[in-house]
Structure 1
């Protein structure tokens, strides 16, 4: 690049400098005349202003509403116009992908029960088979059946469930559903612990004598740990039960991530339990030894009047409906959703006696039936009263700092101002979600649909419509994690189960190109996948 020398003009064609001359002495068409040099400078400035104005106006053009319903068309038009898409590219592709979901077959866990009177699937897990790389497997249970059932999931070249094709590809393999011995009690949740390749079962001991965690293992070599009717080495291990009258119900189970000292955590009606080294122990202090809420901020007379209230116990020692590990530090930070609408963020590096309800919890608009970590600090919470919202737990830190910085006194007692109101406000809500009164409904999150970048899709079962009747029962909706809006779900939008759907699982099976949504519709498990 040539340097600009004051008083000189550089001619790029002749590759030499000319002294700028007065227009009266320079030739009429000379590029180095003062008049021509000034004219070109003005033209360059005007051209720059035009480009900046065009760029500014392009950013102010609003997208037509019709294109929101057809995001792929909107993305293509934006690209043709040379404009950045209004939504992230990953979000646009994910919406277009979800709109092409189609029904891809059915797996019946209890085929010997004819008609539509089969027991509804209340808990299930879908995943790979260790000994048959091309097959998937599903384990499911029902509140009406005191046993666990399982089945392989063979698929053909179109990702469709196809048992005939599976019988040809795997001759000699029995594709009839297999069962496990009864007597486990009521199974309330089924999850998979990937580091140990173990299926975990949350069980309530018969007679309300306690809760526990059983496991199903599959040896990579094909022989099970114990004999059972399940083929290919699936063996049921009678897990440790906690015979404690303090906990008689177990609501949710979450496997621990790789690197954690725990195998899993589970929410009960009396706090959180943990499985570590094949032992079930309390993660939170049991109710009998639980400390009560700090009352330093209450006058003595108020403390005397409120003694014995059920609300005196910290929320994490109450009815825990959902649990998860926070993605920001999954080995040490856990989330717990309570029936009392509290969402607790608990640090395992800190002794429980130092946890504070004022600094470690925030309140949701309803019972926190589902709590899911969907990013480093973002937490999805859903429950009855049609309440689903996304929160940022970093506001808890701002709330704590403000409490420490703004104390004041009243009547001789020290109080602290209420926390920043934004600390408990969601980033956004999901206005189209409707669940009037059910706690146990299906919900699962797909954080990266088909590898389309940082976006997410929530699959949530509905219960009752906005007019408080049952017309919405048995339906499933897909929602965007970017703004909380409902997105077209293809044939998923056409689901009409006979009752509220209680089991939803996103999973990518070995050999499939895209993730699929598995839905427990009645007594059958149906597969919904992308149809190109």
Structure 2
């Protein structure tokens, strides 16, 4: 240890003693003047105190034992040393997103008599809004009113001048008006819109694919040249539902009919309808039907009431007899995979392996990777002996007293459910059964459920009460053409009577 010598300063870096000079004698900027040495000694004292404080903090700080991070212990999540799994992160982000939901009236369609939207779609590329109105006509006094159904389908173009898609100054156009029951509309990524028409004047049905226009550089919408000649593909079976394939060079639709699953593929005026086989049935083979069809006419054993694409090659089909089978376009084969407690009314995909199925007063999620269980040779959903597949997730607080509409957002991991008109010919107003009792105050609201837990998710959307029954619920992914004014975040479209609302952050 170096000794302090009066009148000298020991420089630790140079390891030498230097004489301390008086301030009036030392040259300007001298390192060993009396004031310079004083500043250096004060800096040394501060540095010494800082080192002692850091040593004290390091000594007294509580540290987690390395033993807890050992791979055999596997409790990193409990001690907080691992980030949350992506599923839980998505759950938190979704709750934050929907907590900031705001309602905006997107468009009010022209107030025709008794006009009520059943289905509403929006083209993510062009912003065209499509709405359908299946009305039940009670008057049969004139020959023109001989059929109870009168379907109207209208389109509305967005205002191209705005930065966001708006529909305030646009003119509506009637795309279709038929004395048929509109069972479904589906929009392909190729721009083709398919309408399935059923229960016509002669009890007939037909498919009507049409190409929607897209905007040019000036923002004008030009209809294709063949629009003046609508396409009608007549079919013998009744038509119940349809869904568009998510990718592909051509438009491809899956169609559920009273005689099984069909596909419609084509473009322009060239379309092909093909029937797909049912799952192999030993009883049918004994009677010489090599394709495995059950020849029951329009019974529930042949009626496909819901379709959904799990991927570009696999179609999930729900039937009135509660069976859900998968059809693979590559092999041409079908296999029964699930059995629902009731007749299947709608199917939605969560991911390539998980699907949501709804029926009367129920909604369940299934994972097709699990081994099939609960399958019956001849299911009868109205029988007490009917069994069903064990679901992956249930929604205990989902219990409407009628069949309701729903849609899912895989991006948010949420399910939105609204009140859908009764399936009877005359659409009555309906109420929803929540938490075990019917409440008029809870009527005409939207419920949000988590796809991870099945629990209700609070949101301003769930607190808003519509003045009219909710007919359609549709999620948009937010992957539209943002440059033209499309939404860039997940959006929920809700139709009530003749009004379409948009809920978004």
TM over 0.5: yes
The correspondence for 1:465, drawn from 433, 440, 464, is: 433
- 1:265 is aligned, of 246, 254, 259, to 254
- In 1, Cα distance between the equivalents of 2:122 and 2:452? 26
Alignment of structure 1 residues 260-339 onto 2, 5 Å: 263-277=252-266, 278-284=270-276, 293-295=281-283, 318-327=302-311, 330-331=312-313, 333-339=314-320
1:13-412 to 2 correspondences below 5 Å: 49=65, 52=68, 84-85=83-84, 88-111=88-111, 113=112, 118-128=114-124, 130=126, 136-144=127-135, 146-154=151-159, 161=166, 163=168, 175-183=170-178, 185-194=180-189, 196-204=190-198, 206-207=200-201, 208-218=203-213, 221=216, 222-226=221-225, 235=227, 238-244=230-236, 247-248=237-238, 250-259=239-248, 263-277=252-266, 278-284=270-276, 293-295=281-283, 318-327=302-311, 330-331=312-313, 333-351=314-332, 355=334, 360-385=336-361, 387-396=362-371
Whole-Å separation in 1 of the counterparts to 2:75 and 2:276: 57
Change (3 A) 1:292 1:151: same
Residues matched between the structures, number: 386
Quickly say closer, same or farther: Cα 1:369–1:468, change in 2 above 3 A. Answer: farther
SS in 2 for 1:502: strand
Aligned to 1:211, the other structure's residue is in SS state strand
Whichever structure has more helix as a proportion of its residues is 1
TM-superposition CA deviations, 1:267-294 (whole Å, max 9, x none): 1233222112343534235xxxx89942
**Normalising to structure 1: TM-score of the pair?**
0.62
SS state at 1:107 partner:
strand
Give unmatched runs, 5+ long, in structure 2.
Answer: 1-58, 136-149, 288-293, 377-386, 420-430
From the superposition, tell whether residues 243 and 267 of structure 1 become closer, same or farther in structure 2 (CA, over 3 Å).
closer
Partner of 1:7: none
Equivalent residues in 2 for 1:495-506, closer than 5 Å: 495-506=465-476
2 CA distance for matches of 1:158 and 1:224? 23
**1:412-427 to 2 correspondences below 5 Å:** 424-427=389-392
Which whole-Å CA distance do the structure 1 matches of 2:450 and 2:229 have between them?
39
Q: Spell out, residue by residue over 1:202-224, the C-alpha distance to the aligned partner (whole angstroms, 9 max, x if none).
A: 22262221231332421565431
Give, in whole Å, the separation in 2 of the partners of 1:395 and 1:108. Answer: 45
TM-score by length of 2: 0.65
Partner of 2:29: none
455, 471, 489: which one aligns with 1:514: 489
Report the CA distance shift for 1:292/1:392 in structure 2 as closer, same or farther (over 3 A).
closer
Identify if the C-alpha distance between structure 1 residues 507 and 498 changes in structure 2 by more than 3 Å, giving closer, same or farther. Answer: same
Conserved in 2, the CA contact under 8 Å of 1:210 and 1:242?
Answer: yes
Q: For the residues of structure 1 that align with 2:122 and 2:501, how far apart are their CA atoms?
A: 11
Residue 516 of structure 1 contacts residue 529 of structure 1 at CA under 8 Å; is this kept in 2?
Answer: yes
Shift of 1:338: 1.4
Cα distance in 1 for residues equivalent to 2:449 and 2:279: 40
* Superposed displacement of residue 161, structure 1: 4.6
Q: Does residue 445 in structure 1 map to residue 408 in structure 2? A: yes
Unaligned runs of 5+ in 1: 1-42, 62-80, 131-135, 168-174, 228-234, 304-309, 404-421, 450-455
Q: Compute the displacement of 1:486 (Å).
A: 1.5
Q: Rg: which structure is higher?
A: 2
| Shift in alpha-carbon separation, 1:283–1:211, aligned structure 2, 3 A | same
